[in-house]
Chains A and B, each alone.
Chain A
Amino acid sequence: MNGLRKDEKFGTTNSRKILHLDESLTAYSQLINLGNQSVTGGTRTQLTDDGQGFGTVSTKTLWNSVDNRINLLDARVNSYIDVGIVLASQTSAGVFQASIQLDYSPSLDGSQVITVPITRYIEYTGGVTVALHYSFKFIVTQDMKDNGIGIMVTPYASYTLENTRLTIERLVVPT
């Protein structure tokens, strides 16, 4: 649609539609953590993803790998956000369970959360890597704060998370 931008010269009558053409309707990122992260059973911990793993791609900066937070500063009210998280671990036989919550409080203390925790559970015999899949979908209802959104994980037991995978998608319908 790049060629259509030539029509900006037509002034304010079409300004609303010009905005439509200039603005990206979608933005998305896929971030793979290159290494591992150890988490302790029962301890609420911020998930980290360095975005250095194979398969990382992004159309816009939706993740900050320095403070490990989702960056939605540009998301307008009524934007649709879809966050996918895959936790993988290989442990001995037993239960692999963890809850995840999106937290946008500055200290990530749970005082300002976007969603309630989602818990995933799998029971297996051990010896293989298994994964828990999480999906958060929500609509932005107020201006986003500039401190980013942390992903907080509370595991049932202690695990080593391998190559954590994040997908972040931002959609907006022009108004």
Chain B
Amino acid sequence: MMDFTLVNVNESSKSNYKTSKEERFNVINSIDVQFNERSLISYAQILDSGSQAITASTRTQLTIDGLGTGNYSTGTFWSSVDNKINLQDAVVGDYIDCQVFLPVTGVGATISVLVELDFSSALDGSELVTFPIANTSQNAGNYEYNVKFYVTQTMKDNGIGIMVTPTVNITVTGAKLALKVLPSQID
């Protein structure tokens, strides 16, 4: 994403209402270009087409191959190679709304599943985007995690891993990531 500034364009447009048609046309063209440079909103839903077994009490990186039905993205927010969220283009002040959705099967007891967003290079938990979030249910089900945060410093280029730690062995089938980015420079 690149920067755009709508305020200046608006002011420019207002001041040109009484100029020639051609001049006004040029003003609008400049607006078009600037809209193209940075989308007002970006979002994605990334889905896994398969399953992933995760062992009890073992902190495991979630994998999503991006091949599930309904996969869609307005930008490049996910790397299915290293299985990380890609927010390198986000700038300070951007608002991020991130949902991790885990359909869990094969469990018949009360369980708890912990999810963390980790942007440390080694995914060792030393640099977490937010506190870990735990969900508990009395049985297998669909575990939903929603994390909202603002970008407060330049994003690292190593991506953000999604780390999952269940209390019992689980199988996640069709994991989904939904991501929304609202840029800070809307006016």
Q: Which residues of A contact B (CB under 8 A)?
A: 1, 3-4, 6-7, 9-10, 13-14, 17, 20, 25-26, 78, 80, 82, 95, 97, 99, 116-121, 134-135, 137-139, 141, 156, 171-174
Contact = CB atoms under 8 A, between A and B. Distances in A.
Nearest to A169: B180
A17 B141 contact: no
Contact of A118 (B13, B43, B144): B144
B178 interface: yes
A3 B70 CA distance: 37
Given A117-B142, A118-B142, A139 B10 contact: no
B184 to A, nearest CB: 16
A169 B43 CA distance: 13
B74 interface: yes
B24 interface: yes
B31 interface: yes
A9 B6 CA distance: 21
Contacts of A20: 35
B10 A25 contact: no
A119 B17 contact: no
B55 interface: no
Contacts of B138: 95, 97, 121, 156
B142 A139 contact: no
A119 B32 contact: no
Given A117-B141, A171-B43, A10 B25 contact: yes
Given A17-B31, A171-B180, A116 B103 contact: yes
Contact of B42 (A116, A117, A156, A173): A173
Given A10-B28, A137-B99, A80 B43 contact: yes
Given A10-B21, A80-B45, A121-B136, 14 more contacts: A3-B14, A7-B13, A7-B25, A9-B21, A14-B28, A26-B41, A80-B43, A82-B180, A99-B141, A116-B103, A139-B43, A156-B138, A171-B41, A171-B180
A68 B37 CA distance: 40
B146 A135 contact: yes
Nearest to B72: A139
B29 interface: yes
A7 B28 contact: yes
Nearest to A141: B70
A137 to B, nearest CB: 4
Nearest to B144: A118
A63 B24 CA distance: 40
A121 B137 contact: yes
A171 B183 CA distance: 14
Contacts of B137: 97, 119-121
A19 to B, nearest CB: 11
A137 B100 CA distance: 10
B41 A137 contact: no
Interface string B13-37: 1100100010011011101100100
A174 B32 CA distance: 12
A119 B29 CA distance: 49
B39 interface: yes
29 contacts: A1-B6, A3-B10, A3-B13, A4-B13, A6-B17, A7-B25, A9-B21, A14-B25, A14-B32, A17-B32, A25-B41, A95-B138, A99-B141, A116-B103, A117-B142, A118-B142, A118-B144, A121-B136, A121-B137, A134-B144, A135-B99, A137-B99, A138-B45, A138-B178, A139-B45, A139-B72, A171-B180, A173-B39, A173-B74
